[in-house]
A and B are shown apart, each in its own frame.
Chain A
Amino acid sequence: MTEHLKCADYGPTPSISAGPVLQAVNISKSFPGVLANDQVNFELAKGEIHALLGENGSGKTTFSKMLAGLYTPDSGTIYIDGQPTALPLPRHAHAAGIFLIQQNFSLVERLTVAENIVLGLKEASLSRRKYKALVARIEEDGRRYGLDVEPSAYIWQLSMGERQRVEIIKALYRRARILILDEPTTVLTPQECKQLFAGLKRLASEDTSIIFISHKLPEIFAVCDRVTILRSGKSVTTADVREEGMSPHRLMGMMFGREITLSSKEPAEGDHAEDTLVLDEVTCHNEFGRAVVENVSFTVKKGEIFGITGVSGNGQRELAEVVAGLRRRSSGTVAIAGRTVRSGDPEDAIRAGLSYVPEDRLGTGLVPDLSISDNLVLKNAWAPPYSRFGIVDQRAVKALAVRLISQFGIAGQPQSLVGQLSGGNAQKVLLARELTSEPKVLMAGTPTRGLDVSATDVVRRLLIEAAKSEIGVLLISEDLDEVLELCDRIGVMYKGKIVGIVDRRLATPDSLGLMMTGMTA
């Protein structure tokens, strides 16, 4: 596994004192049909940064939510400072000093930073005097830990990195002793990452204990002291990161029980393939008049996988929507398989040969309330052979579903509702539909997000196969590993513009990381 984030090693935390500040013993939690945590054991020392490592679906988020009082364990006990403590509600966790910062932040967009920080506090008051004290405290904490925020700014104005800082300041304001961060780096540039880690180390040295949930090994090595591995809902082992001989490979072995290599693609040779997707000076504005995509031009060739990467929120989603016709473009042209497509017309793009696997799997790509077979036929249901004289031919639909379910190994019946499938299975349905519509261009937005390793591998292989069948693949992903292992050429987006396009053989994580902050290569 490549180490794409060369975060400097920050050294061991100086003041780890004896006696765990938090202990979870035999914690179990189940939901209808699913056992999320199975007798999990976990222990956190004071002033340490302890990683919770596991792939998607291993139970990390469920466990953290129980510590935060959002869920209640079915069995097992949580000890705080040696005392068994019940945490039925978030406020109990807050009283115990535990604070969870989730991946989708608990911030109300339409309120200001200051308002969010006092949200839910009994002593909150909006009087002038108290407000000034609050602002002073926010600024002081900000300076101290490198987490500057503007108290009167509205959340919707802030970037993801800034919002994360607000969350941490919020926790500190409430005298958090235990911080739980759930996948904090997904929304940060490499530079912001470094700032975060420095802040965390500072906090740990002042006796704040931190649980760092992640599935990215290099980060864990950079900043954590110990790591506990979760697999399939069980706590597998706890290891000391600084121990002799500990390496990402060993950890990975403990995570999966074996070494896993994900499929990757050989870079395509030569330039002789023809263009299959051409964007020329595409610009698009949002409802506030701001340009979210600005003068983007690039081409994707047949048989190539072209990657668009960057920190999420820099226009990638809007770019994909423009290409798919879901969003009007203000200027520029998009040509699919040699034909210019009309702006804001999804049907035109589909007819021209575009297949789109959207980022929003269950909202846009699939309809959760409909069955697998309905979803598989979604794009072609209005015309023969599935629909004649306004009536849908149920047998033809079912036949298609049966065929695709077996071809792609989807776990489910044709009539199962897609909303009840696992993430990986749902993605398979989506890909099955898109790949079998004989597209000329396949556009995939963060296709492996939230999937476990085996599903990720399946998706990767399908993308590689698509490229092999002379389809031009446009892969939009924030995962640098994925992009470096699958793509032939990589474009980096920053604030709606393409900062640079690099050949994969010449790209390095550092150079890409630099471009992601806006500096051209």
Chain B
Amino acid sequence: MIRIERRLSLKLWVRLCVPLGSLLVAFVIITLLLFLSGVGAWSTYSAMISASITSTSGLSETFVIATPIVLTGLCATMTFRMGIYNIGGEGQLYMGAMAATAVALELHGEPGYVIIIAMSVAAALAGCVWSLIPGLLRAYFSTNEILVSLMLNYVAGYFISYLIFDSRSYWRNLTSAAGQVYPIGKTIPAASWWPAPSLGGVGIPLGLMVAIVLAAVCAVCLRRSTLGFKMRTTAGSVSAARYAGLNVRRLIVVVMLISGALAGIAGAVQVGSASHALDPTGLEQVQYGYAGIIAAALGAFDPIAVFAAGLLLGAINSSGSILVGPSFPIGLTGTIEWIVLFSVISGGFLLNFRVRWRPRASGHKAGLGRGEPTVPSSSEPTPTLAGGIGISKSTQVTERGAR
């Protein structure tokens, strides 16, 4: 009979094969989907690859799109690791974009690098403010941060729409001919456009380099720093963290601030490298904040893997935006990403369990210890192996008692 048992150890080959296998399964499903909707699968794939990876302009565009996704992916990773689900990356990105645009417009005339740094700082701060709200509410009132951060996404979205569409605000372009006809945002000065130095014909955006650095910093932080240790402890058991003297509330706020800053910088990158203005419609269409969450889940909440997943999603998105048309419907991008994500999450099951073919009724003697299982005999969820996709133990951080 087939038995499903929990894994006791995770060998490296399993850890690599399972995600790759999931991608393979996703590939098959997507091919099927394309076939069913009457679109040539192979032509679609080759078009996607040439649009996003093999052509130099395509690759440049991929990098531009991937960068904010990586950053919002890091935003999600830093909090999800602790069992705090900040899904407000989208809204934090919007606020960052708003702040960055304002700074860029205001500092007209200053040297480029000054403006760029100021944009980043302002954007990070704006993102922080927006993530501070759910953070504080979560830390001190135990309010569900999922819902609060999510609601704030919509509030932020409507706010920036208001700035461009329904007000005569600083951000709005009221002078140009186009701006008289239809509300658009002011373009930021050319000096503040983020450079993308060319490497063999492919433009490497400044934002991407920043993202690489930030991903490395996050990785080091999680694995080696004191803060990362505190986060691991809290993720494992809140009561243990408090028992050890940690100020869990402050930790939650700090992590949320970091997370918001990352998403804010994503907003700055988007403004500086792509839209060069505050463009609510565009931002709401690409939904980089949510794409970041997908990247984080694909990367199993490990910053380096999230970086890679971000690049993959960037490639998919970029080919999507280039190819959009009758044979490439607008929802295809999201659907592909979704199938990939679902396959990988399902594959995560195999990381924690293994399927065994066990012949009936033969006692298992060799090499087994004696005594009761180490798991307490009530059905407590046994601790999962860290690193499985979608951290299987529902790590809902709950507060009670003093402080």
Contacts and interface: CB of A to CB of B under 8 A. Distances in A.
Contacts of B365: 35
B263 to A, nearest CB: 23
A39 B402 CA distance: 50
The 7 closest A-B CB pairs, nearest first, are A344-B402, A367-B236, A347-B245, A419-B383, A328-B402, A368-B383, A31-B373
Nearest to B382: A419
Nearest to B221: A390
A379 B368 contact: no
Nearest to B370: A232
Contacts of A61: 372, 377
Contacts, number: 164
B371 A59 contact: yes
- Chain A: interface size category: 35 or more
B364 interface: yes
B243 A34 contact: no
Contacts of A421: 374
Interface in B356-403: 361-365, 368-378, 382-384, 386, 393, 401-403
Interface stretch (B189-197, B201-209, B225-233): B225-233
Interface string B219-255: 0000011111110110111011011111100000000
A327 B383 CA distance: 26
Interface of A: 28, 30-36, 38-39, 56-59, 61-62, 65, 74-75, 102, 104, 232-233, 321, 324-328, 343-347, 350, 356, 358, 360, 362-370, 374, 378-379, 381-382, 387, 390-392, 394, 417, 419-423, 450, 452
Contacts of B239: 326, 360, 363-364
Contacts of B16: none
Given A34-B372, A74-B364, A381-B226, A364 B235 contact: no
User: Which of B364, B372, B393 has most chain A Cβ within 10 Å?
Assistant: B372
Given A35-B370, A65-B377, A452-B371, 9 more contacts: A34-B371, A74-B363, A75-B361, A328-B403, A350-B244, A366-B237, A370-B233, A392-B226, A423-B374
Interface of B: 5-6, 8, 224-230, 232-233, 235-237, 239-240, 242-247, 361-365, 368-378, 382-384, 386, 393, 401-403
Contacts of A423: 374
A425 to B, nearest CB: 9
B225 A34 contact: no
Nearest to B5: A32
Contacts of A343: 402
B226 A326 contact: no
Contacts of A39: 363
A369 B383 contact: yes
Contacts of B233: 367, 370, 374, 378
A34 B240 contact: no
Contacts of A420: 8, 374, 383
